[in-house]
Amino acid sequence: MAVTEQALLDALRGVVDPNTSKDYVSTKALRNLRVEGGDVSFDVELGYPAKSQVAALRKALIAAARSVPGVENVSVQIATRIIAHAVQRGVQLLPNVKNIIAVASGKGGVGKSTTAVNLALALAAEGARVGILDADIYGPSQPMMMGIDARPESADGQTMEPLENYGVQVMSIGFLIEPDNPMIWRGPMATQALDQLLRQTNWRDVDYLIVDMPPGTGDIQLTLSQRVPLTGAVIVTTPQDIALLDARKGLKMFEKVGVPILGVVENMAVHVCSKCGHAEHIFGAEGGKRMAAEYGVDYLGALPLNLSIREQTDSGRPTVVSEPDGEIAALYKEVARKVAVKVAERAKDYSAKFPTITISKGT
């Protein structure tokens, strides 16, 4: 029996992307289907990093193709192609940075920076090129969390090279000051310093730049959300009512300036006793989930209140690199994939497609 393309496509429609719940045929992710007798080959192009899932996906696709009578050999190439997506209107894009994701909270102390660093490391572990910008001028924490104690180098005296660890590029005001030196700056000075860190860093072909935003919704945060070309924002909260109150303000701030909300992360959702295994919702239960439903945004997942997360981050080896195959790292990776999928669903950035128009006087 001759193998037809239609029979193969019908069979391959049965393989559903676990991250989008859509098949690869209807989304046109499956390409270059070739049939030569009993030999079949095709490519699948993902719009987000999913290195840990590639082997299982290839196995499922091969099994689906072999279910068609007459198919003997199947060759599948799976690749990731991350593109730039649309940002707020009128905001200047960054060269060599495809997508910028703000990780924000209306309130301090909810684990925003810990979530941001593990999100960045999880995206890198899934195969993306990632950077972190520590936007907290007054309380920079990423140098410690990323285990970096150095100063950026500058070849031209105008721009800086990002520092790097665990495969992630990092820039922070913390690299330029003494650890115990307080930044006694008013808002405009802090905002200007941050704009320089963002735009005068030589980011190297970054797929996702994670911006660890300062807590709150004041002038600095508002100015950042208007100036930085953001693909979207992730809101971090704990389940307790007082944190949710401020998280709602952060969410509304981004909405007002035209930045899409990629979803809500509920941190410190549950504590499991290391001695007896008893689970207790210290800060309340599912407040973040209710908030996400209230505002019609995605609930990206819940993370536990766990001693190891704090210890690993304080030591400069966050959970995703300390225990890459552990249960908590798996939670961070799941959140990271959901964020990357939400970014991939955004409209493409077409600014690079338009020609530059110059007007010159005739002679």
- Token pair for 155: 């070849």
Gap between the Cα atoms of 280 and 230, Å rounded = 36
SS3 assignment, position 279: strand
The CA-based angle 348-351-352, given to 5 degrees, is 100
User: What is the β-pairing status of strands 39-46 and 73-80?
Assistant: parallel
Residue 288 known to bind ligand: no
Residue 360 known to bind ligand: no
Residue 106 known to bind ligand: yes
Gap between the Cα atoms of 88 and 338, Å rounded = 21
- Token pair for 337: 């994939």
Residue 107 known to bind ligand: yes
Contact predicate 220/332, CB 8 Å? no
- Token pair for 101: 């994701």
Contact predicate 200/159, CB 8 Å? yes
Residue 127 known to bind ligand: no
Residue 112 known to bind ligand: yes
- Token pair for 188: 């405009």
Residue 218 known to bind ligand: no
Gap between the Cα atoms of 41 and 27, Å rounded = 18
Contact predicate 183/173, CB 8 Å? yes
CB atoms within 10 A of CB 214: 23
SS3 assignment, position 356: coil
Select from 6, 77, 60, 68 the least CA-distant residue to 38: 68
The CA-based angle 352-19-293, given to 5 degrees, is 95
Residue 147 known to bind ligand: no
Residue numbers in the known binding site are 106-113
**Which positions make up the binding site for ATP?**
106-113
